[in-house]
Structure 1
Amino acid sequence: MIVPAFAQATRAFDVPSQPATNSIAALARQADAQILIEEGLARGIQTNAITGSYTIEGALIRLLRDTPLDWIRTGPTSFSIISRQEVDSGATPDILVQGRREWTLNTGIKRSENDSQPFIVIDGEQIRKSGAPDLESYLRNSLSVNSGASTAEQANISDSPNRSAINLRGLGERETLILIDGRRLAGTSNSNGNIGQPTIVGIPLAAIERIEVLASSASGIYGNGATGGVINIIMRREYRGAEASVTYSDTFAGGGRGIRADLTGGLSLEGGRTNVTFTASYNRTAPLLFRDRAGLIEDSRRQAFANNPAFFRFSPPLGATPNLSTGNDDPLQLDERFGGATLSSSRATIPVGFRGIAQDGIAGLLANVGNYNLDLSNNRGVNGGRRELLSPVEQFAGSVAARRDFNDWLKVYAELSYTRAGNQRRADPVAATIKLAADAPNNPFKQDVTVTVPFEGVDNRVLDRTLQTYRGVMGAIVKLPGNWQAVLDYSRSRNTTDSDDTPAKVSFAGLAAFQNGTQDILRDVRLAPGFSYTYLDIPYATSSSQTRNDIANLSVRLAGPLPVRLPGGKPTVTLSVERSTQRQAADSFIQNDEEQSTVRISQPGRQRIDAAYGEINLPILGDTHHLPLVRELMVTVSGRYEKYRETGAPYAACYQEAGLLPSLDLAKLCPVTPPFATTQRSRFDPTVSLRWRPIDGVTLRGSYATGYLTPQLSDLVKVAEARIYTTATDVQRGNERIGTEDADFAGSYYLPGSRGGNTDVKPETSTTLTAGIILEPAFIPGFRLSADWTHIRKRNNYANPDQLLSPSTIEQQAAFDAFLARYPDRVTRGQPSGGFSVGPITSIDASVANLVGSNTETIDFAGSYTRPLFGGGITLDARATYVNELSLQEVSGGPVADYAGVITGDFIFLRGGFGAMRWKGAGSLQWTGDKLSLMWQTRFFDSYFVSLDRQVSVGLGAAEVPSQMYHDISGSYAFASGFKLRATVNNVFNRRPPLDTTNASFLYSTFGDPRLANFQLTLSKSF
């Protein structure tokens, strides 16, 4: 359909927020257009205020945003207002829907919260109003089904800045599929031979139209990787004119200042036959340093130390002055020069102003035995006061998209986008912890002591790590007979990461000067911080080559109605065939160190998936039939067949020797190319869902779905090993020890076998059942409440049996026995002997295996209420998730670990592990008037255990980290000139995150934001 010139004309609108019947009539008068709406459809609905110059289509989009209403064009100057549920009831890809939107590039079927499956739909404007600094932070804070505990900017969580980690249902990062406009993205690479989850870092909030989330098995719709769920980010295309905005952000306590500029817009050419949209965004944020939150960090340290004086037993904390310890529980003992007394503690701290024992003796030092200096140091060492608590961020994103209607039956489209996310980290060329020798002249103790020194003047240079994502899309839409359409779509995406080399470290000779007392570290080093540092004469300490992943997707989709009519309406069908090819380039990591040098080369990997997919929407019965207890009955059936082929190599060190590298030529260091292996399998996944409305205002829904996940590329090659050590016993031979005793290590047993990957593993699978209810009672206009039960059962989880080979408890031995019972062909036995019916185990296959799996059971709640109030409209939204079960069982008969309500240290540091809190929720209360808008938001994180045994953590002083609740407030005012000012205060009560000792770097719960109370000011202008 060619949009008439009338639709492209810009008009001035001034429509206050009011009941839909009144606002639609006002907009129609101002546009000189005919807009029809049924009175019953408009009952209880409050629309948005709009002020400024827009096309009529742009005005309708803004007027009806965040309401259950949508629009369709019915003529050159006429429109009809319809229910979004009516729009979303078909099985037609969003990109093929006509008349409802200006245009979109979303190849997926548009989903709604009233779908037969429990989709969560997040409006882009709601994200922008939230005041979240980035998309990952918003999804951590406000998406109740996301268990992610940290974000990419939290510098000390892991060595993976710029890489987001979304973890639906707490099943792990790999179980969540990320899409943009329904298309797969190139995954990230971390020099480990595997393809990681695509990153969402750098996606500008201003460019997002909405996000669709399904926290359920979804491979029957989306394919591989959707075992735990899928997130589809749909980008904005509804622009007419342009909007520019500038956002300034800062914290009330200082640090973390930022500036962001966004430009979005679109134009229509050739009378509407050609449409172009563009976006550009620049974001720069200063670091938040440890010293900027000294109160939070130091109080957490003191609390942990008070709870457990042995908390820093093995490594003294970095303080404002040096701290020292024996490194164990042995008490300090003075040297004979100072009387040889055994002291009362294994630890001590250097007094402020202490110049060393040569000048000040030992009295001041003895007075500080048993204590640590827990004040932050004034250096840039790890956890030092001038170290980054939140990394500095510099991001740029831009895109341009176009669609041209050549005639009534052919449209073509294309898009190019680019994202660049820069992140910085510090080099650490000298370890803060030094072992001071017992015979050092400045050591007053009889034993070696471990000293943590706040070194200054070290080459802690800033190192850049830059992630870039390129994405291109092109395609054609063809109108076919019988109201069918086809779309031929090709997309390509590339993700690269470039990292600076780390500078050379201080040499062993240079460290020896500290260890033997030549340079005195047992003093207040701030008095004379000018140490002499002798660096190795090498070009770098570590070097990482560029990592690169590419993915190409080619698909053909057909969609349209079937030539039959059911009592509830015409069935609609989508069919597609696709090929997705993802390639991972070779990369390398080099560590050049006097103690041990290592070279790891990740070989090229490849994954190809051919797929055929179909979805049919069957409106069995509708409103017109007035049958008892059946106002609507809708069944949706989809199925996806995929055949995958993967080729990969093991990720292992090809060079690992003591001392510096003999050469920097990788071909000489690693002359042998590791073996490759290929696996291929096929898989069919169905999805069946039902939506039944027995009476007006009550909707019941349920679904059955499955999912699957392919193995990692590094888990395909099996590697033979001459010695695999084990402590296991053979239950079939009277629990005798397995293997041969090592002649050099009495009591150690080994046997030959294999480790590594395995091409014979089956795909990891999941099955999901959901059941839910939606209440929209007519006697409470504008009210909606839903509750959805979800049960995900995963089987054939990938696991490394290595961990079963060293049992130390009865339960662990039982797990090993269960593994052999399930996989008897994993061992080779000799001839029967010793009166047993089986021979001794002579070899074992400990390569990757399918072990049992996991179960999760959750209930998701969502509620909203909208009504007129004080000349405007008030909207209440809330969403919460309760996790009843999140259990993991590695082998049949083995122990079952329930992670519901458990967040361990591994979960936080690995950023994608297994775990979830019991309750998580968020809500908002918003009033929108003619020009003024006000909103209050609340985020709730339940208490959580820090260990699976749920026992008291001594350092924490409790078994659980307490629950957290944070509140935000925001408001905006629209000026008649097209300017809008928005102000947001996050964490308005300035609540600190609670203590969490699983994170030894800064000891606070990462669900909280160390910015504490912070604000944003946004000024925007529409053109």
Structure 2
Amino acid sequence: MSAAALAAALMSAANAQAQTSQASSAPPAVAQTAPEAEADRPANPAPVVSNDAPGAQDIVVTGTAIRGVAPIGSNLVSVGLEAIEKTAPVNLSQLVNTVPALSTAGSLAQGENAYSYYSPQIHSLAGSSSNTTLVIVDGLRLPGGGTQFSQTDPNIIPVSAIQRVEVLADGASSVYGSDAVAGVVNFITRRTFDGLDANFQYGWADHYRSKSGNLIWGKTWGTGGVYVAGAWTEQSTLLNRYRSFSSLGDYRAVGGSNNNSFQCSPATIQVTGVSSGIVPSGVFLSPGATGTVANTQANAPCNTSIYNTLVPGQGRGNVMMKVVNDFSDKLTVTYMLNYNRQKTHSPNGPGNLTNAAAFGPNSGKGGQINPFFIAPAGAPNATQQSITWLATTPDGNYGEVESQSDVIYTTAVADYKINSNWTVTLSDAFGWNRSALNTINGFCTACAMLALNGTAQSSGSTTASDIAGQNVIALNLPLTTANALDVWNPVGSNRTSPAVLRSLYRANSENTNYNTFNQIRLNVQGSLFDLPAGPLKVAMGGEYYWQSQTQKITGSNNTGPTTTGSNFRVYNYSRKIKSVYAEAYIPVISPEMDVPLAYRVDLSAAVRYDSFSDVGDTTNPKFAATWEIIRGLKVRGNWSKSFVAPPIGVIGDPTQGYLYASGSIGTNGVISVPTANYPSVVNIPGAVAANTNNPCTMAVAVCQIGQGNTGLRRQLGGGFTNEVPQKGRSWSIGVDFTPQFLPGLVVAGTFFHNTFIGGVSSPSPSAIVNSAGLRNLLTLCPSSCTQAQIDSFANIANGATISGSVPPNVYYLIDQSSRNALNLVVEGVDGQFTYSSDLGNIGRVTIGTAFTYFTKFRQNFGGGTDFSILNTSGYNTTFPSVQFKNRAQLGWALDGISLDLFWNHVGPYRNWISTSVAPITVDGAGNPTGGGDRVAAGNTFDLHAQYEFGGENLTRGWQLFVDVQNLLDANPPFYNGNTNGILGGAWGYNGFVSNPLGRLVSIGARIKF
């Protein structure tokens, strides 16, 4: 991401809107490089707020530790306050999701909780536990949040407190340490504020509402000031059934697959035992069915998506106080305190049972015989059944999932001027985050099993332990009409007792995550001596950072309701980091030297050393140069090494065999295994040719094993696999053209190259069986794995435990433990064109566009063969690699009225998720080479209309606006899959790059005193 991406994208969302009149237009955001002499400054620098106190021009610069020096060789973008204000974003994610270079550009900024895009991601350079974009506030780190990977949430800061956003799309670990591989997003808050500014807006779409308010009040005095800023938002829940593209179920009519299931009410039935004759094959679609259908996805009859939530409802409130004061001409102290609370709410759909045993008369099962048992009409002599059932209820209340995040964040910065050249700065940032993800009155699978066959086992076994490693067996015998479950009759005629029906939705779980951090930094900077082109400036310093994370998880132990049968686990992680760094700014040629074709030349060099208490140490340098050939024409470039430390929550708890919250050891179901890579797969009992019931042979390309959950999967933390920091190497070269002869024109282009080595990932089964570097992670046991193999695999000796019961026969072991598995090479171009001109009586006209275009996106797992995923989405479940995104703007402003039209474009790409209809072709090593479904280009238009009151009365500066997103109410391009990495993602659209709301109309007002 560069000025090409952000200046036109954020500016495209704001710049023309800011041109409300000739007298009060907001200047466009522009890329800044080295500081220039006053006479050489651009005509349109990043704006400074007029009501800030003296000293507001003390610039906090992103990407460098040297005050007053923008990063050399990089495309730093600064979007000023007036431009940000006039976009009226609900939160900061909505603001930055207009940037084409972000992985989630165009997606909905609502419902983030646990997954990859809790914070911005530049250039799709991995996600999840391989976060490569550093998000900071005023140059300091934020507390982690969520219930998995400790992602930072910039939305804890009220929008009204933001003065500008600076984005640097280059490796910056030489300055900031971990995470800054793809770049840095720095949200810079106002220094001071005087007066009152409040804005409110209300938005609506089909079956959706949004309300928000932002305000700031402040008071300044001669040596500083204080202000309080706050924000409040409410965004409603959107259910699947209100959008046709997410609730079709069977998508074959639109070129997709049948996403229905056999989970129906009443149940679908496979007969597994008869009193006489032959057991019929196939599935009876109801107890009254006289014949069966093949047990294939194409025949699945029931659409359960209509019960699901498309977008969780979200509410957020936050408040921030900031105090700054100059205690003398040498000492300035700044203190900030922030509190945030966020909640999400998502109603559950009905629970279900899959392939659960049920016993009838003449089965010989005694007390396990269900009194409501009905043999299918086509198999009246059936005595045993395998039931697949949807647990609908008369009231339609199936519980809910809710999350809550509470954050306390504070910073203190003391600047002391030693003399006119040297300054020492002591900074301290402290943060605490409590994130909880809870299920309330969810479906109790064990309760349903106990009422169906008298045990908590889907097989109906009365001897298998319900808790692995313990001899605990829950029974509900004998089954009677008072305690049994009727799955053979629908709601209305169902014979289940009210008490049993109520017990089905009594499962509760809680995942509470506590993150705490403290960052202390001492920085000394100043000028060493003068060179012919100016002073050589340096910065040096050290940093100490500690972080702790505690995860408390409560859930079912598989013996019944969680009120009487639950488990509780606590995971503890911690980390300490010691760092030192140094940076130099070297002016080589200045304008005063009058060198032909070298108006200005600047160099910089930086290096940082970080020592981690858990994953070793790393050293990361950066070198950069800017060559301004003539005034307004610059060529820039840089090279850097950067890194990402594995999140501490992914390292795992060493006292529990390196288990961690999102990992587990337990049973695993069907996986597809290439026979060429694993010849012994043909000897696995029950192995069949993929998507058929035919026996597996060497003539079959892919075999499926694990029917009936006969495999074990482990996902332990990175401490088990000796994870090390994830490494990045990047370089970029760019050109900026801002000609003096045509003010208002900005043309910029940047070619970027990023190599990401050893990205932390839990490889998918598909990646394991098809990647040469990971194939050893699957162990096949044709004669059943031994107990010793199972205990060793589960790391029992070191404190790990198995979740659930172990099947009598385990035929494969698959290791999905977190490891340094992912390697990426990403190249592309960020481009920008913007032109703004005052045409007198006609008004001010602005046109612009910004785009990101990837030219290379290659990866491998575990050091295997490289393959391209360019212009695809779905192969990696935590980030897309769509080739082209663009956002263009046409704006007009005159006498306080402004109109702006935006065009958002996502180019066509291929769906490489495993559910694509068109097969994904692979090479001899199993790596993808082509195929997949073609996903159409996405095009939406946004319209913003605004009026700002003039004159000299009380309402001067007040604004009224109407904002319409997705003006033509276009549906997202059809995507045959589900982007599970986004909370609320649903089948039928790609939540990474598309917004499911449809036309969203918002009206708002801003008042100023």
Q: TM-score, normalised by structure 2?
A: 0.72
Specify the code of the residue in structure 1 equivalent to 2:319: G
Contact 1:635 1:690 in 2 (8 A): yes
Say whether 1:140 aligns with 2:97: yes
Contact 1:572 1:618 in 2 (8 A): yes
Once the two structures are TM-superposed, the CA of residue 250 in structure 1 deviates from its matched residue by 0.8
Contact 2:398 2:442 in 1 (8 A): no
The equivalent residue for 2:640 is 705
Deviations 1:537-579 (A, max 9, x none): 7996343253111111111222333331332x22333322211
Specify the code of the residue in structure 2 equivalent to 1:554: I
Question: What RMSD in Å do the two structures reach over aligned CA positions?
Answer: 5.2
Which of residues 611, 617, 641 in structure 1 aligns to 2:579? 611
Which of residues 719, 723, 729 in structure 2 aligns to 1:767? 729
Deviations 1:284-336 (A, max 9, x none): 1222222332x3334x4343466466544xx3377xxx486568xxxx99999
The equivalent residue for 2:988 is 1003
Q: Secondary structure at the match of 1:415?
A: strand
State the distance in 1 between where 2:193 and 2:18 align: 19
Once the two structures are TM-superposed, the CA of residue 411 in structure 1 deviates from its matched residue by 1.6
The equivalent residue for 2:789 is none
State the distance in 2 between where 1:488 and 1:645 align: 23
State the distance in 1 between where 2:625 and 2:566 align: 56
Say whether 1:301 aligns with 2:249: yes
State the distance in 2 between where 1:119 and 1:768 align: 16
Q: Which moved more, 1:219-228 or 1:700-709?
A: 219-228
The equivalent residue for 2:231 is 281
The equivalent residue for 1:476 is 414
Q: How does 1:872-887 map to 2 (within 5 A)?
A: 872-887=843-858
Q: How does 1:853-1002 map to 2 (within 5 A)?
A: 853-871=823-841, 872-892=843-863, 894-904=864-874, 907=877, 913-947=878-912, 952-953=917-918, 959-976=933-950, 977-978=955-956, 979-999=958-978, 1001-1002=986-987
Deviations 1:232-261 (A, max 9, x none): 11123353211111111111x2x2212111
Contact 1:46 1:867 in 2 (8 A): no
Q: Secondary structure at the match of 1:628?
A: coil
Contact 1:952 1:960 in 2 (8 A): no
State the distance in 2 between where 1:957 and 1:454 align: 39
Once the two structures are TM-superposed, the CA of residue 172 in structure 1 deviates from its matched residue by 2.1
Q: How does 1:626-641 map to 2 (within 5 A)?
A: 626-641=594-609
Gaps of 5+ in 1: 1-44, 52-58, 71-78, 89-93, 351-355, 376-381, 647-678, 726-734, 818-843, 908-912
Could you say if the C-alpha distance between residues 519 and 847 of structure 1 is closer, same or farther in structure 2, counting changes exceeding 3 Å? Answer: closer
Specify the code of the residue in structure 2 equivalent to 1:993: P
State the distance in 2 between where 1:736 and 1:442 align: 41
Contact 1:507 1:536 in 2 (8 A): no
Gaps of 5+ in 2: 1-15, 361-372, 380-384, 454-478, 660-664, 668-676, 688-704, 780-813, 921-929, 980-985
The equivalent residue for 2:618 is 683
Say whether 1:503 aligns with 2:441: yes
Could you say if the C-alpha distance between residues 390 and 861 of structure 1 is closer, same or farther in structure 2, counting changes exceeding 3 Å? Answer: same
Contact 2:358 2:452 in 1 (8 A): no
The equivalent residue for 2:121 is 166
Specify the code of the residue in structure 1 equivalent to 2:989: Y
Q: Secondary structure at the match of 1:624?
A: helix
Q: Secondary structure at the match of 2:352?
A: coil
State the distance in 1 between where 2:116 and 2:624 align: 39
Once the two structures are TM-superposed, the CA of residue 602 in structure 1 deviates from its matched residue by 4.2
Say whether 1:263 aligns with 2:229: no
Q: Secondary structure at the match of 1:877?
A: strand
Q: Secondary structure at the match of 1:471?
A: strand
Specify the code of the residue in structure 2 equivalent to 1:560: G
State the distance in 2 between where 1:709 and 1:957 align: 33
Q: Secondary structure at the match of 1:990?
A: coil
Q: Secondary structure at the match of 1:263?
A: strand
Contact 1:504 1:536 in 2 (8 A): no
Could you say if the C-alpha distance between residues 418 and 98 of structure 1 is closer, same or farther in structure 2, counting changes exceeding 3 Å? Answer: closer
Q: How does 1:81-100 map to 2 (within 5 A)?
A: 83=41
Contact 1:770 1:789 in 2 (8 A): yes
The equivalent residue for 2:787 is none
Q: Secondary structure at the match of 2:262?
A: coil
Deviations 1:139-168 (A, max 9, x none): 33434243578556358xx86699456354
User: Identity, % of aligned pairs?
Assistant: 18
Contact 1:491 1:554 in 2 (8 A): yes
State the distance in 2 between where 1:108 and 1:720 align: 36
Contact 1:277 1:400 in 2 (8 A): yes
Say whether 1:456 aligns with 2:410: no
State the distance in 2 between where 1:852 and 1:68 align: 35
Contact 1:615 1:638 in 2 (8 A): yes
Q: Which moved more, 1:976-985 or 1:502-511?
A: 502-511
Once the two structures are TM-superposed, the CA of residue 1021 in structure 1 deviates from its matched residue by 0.7
Contact 1:165 1:197 in 2 (8 A): no
Q: Secondary structure at the match of 2:529?
A: coil
State the distance in 2 between where 1:930 and 1:770 align: 42
Contact 1:701 1:771 in 2 (8 A): yes
Which of residues 141, 144, 165 in structure 2 aligns to 1:184? 141
Once the two structures are TM-superposed, the CA of residue 126 in structure 1 deviates from its matched residue by 4.2
The equivalent residue for 2:321 is 400
Q: Secondary structure at the match of 1:564?
A: strand
The equivalent residue for 2:811 is none
Matched positions, count:
837
Q: Secondary structure at the match of 1:917?
A: coil
Could you say if the C-alpha distance between residues 584 and 364 of structure 1 is closer, same or farther in structure 2, counting changes exceeding 3 Å? Answer: closer
Contact 2:772 2:865 in 1 (8 A): no
Deviations 1:894-951 (A, max 9, x none): 22232221211752xxxxx243101112222222333112111121122222227998
Specify the code of the residue in structure 2 equivalent to 1:916: S
The equivalent residue for 2:719 is 757
Deviations 1:834-870 (A, max 9, x none): xxxxxxxxxx999876558321111111221111135
Say whether 1:579 aligns with 2:551: no
Q: Secondary structure at the match of 2:968?
A: coil
Q: Secondary structure at the match of 1:481?
A: coil
The equivalent residue for 2:305 is 383
Q: Secondary structure at the match of 1:988?
A: coil
Specify the code of the residue in structure 1 equivalent to 2:754: I
Contact 2:431 2:518 in 1 (8 A): yes
The equivalent residue for 1:206 is 160
Once the two structures are TM-superposed, the CA of residue 275 in structure 1 deviates from its matched residue by 0.8
Deviations 1:650-674 (A, max 9, x none): xxxxxxxxxxxxxxxxxxxxxxxxx
The equivalent residue for 1:1022 is 1008
State the distance in 2 between where 1:724 and 1:424 align: 29
State the distance in 1 between where 2:300 and 2:914 align: 30
Q: Which moved more, 1:135-144 or 1:862-871?
A: 135-144
The equivalent residue for 1:410 is 331
Q: TM-score, normalised by structure 1?
A: 0.71
Deviations 1:806-858 (A, max 9, x none): 757989769999xxxxxxxxxxxxxxxxxxxxxxxxxx999876558321111
State the distance in 2 between where 1:213 and 1:601 align: 40
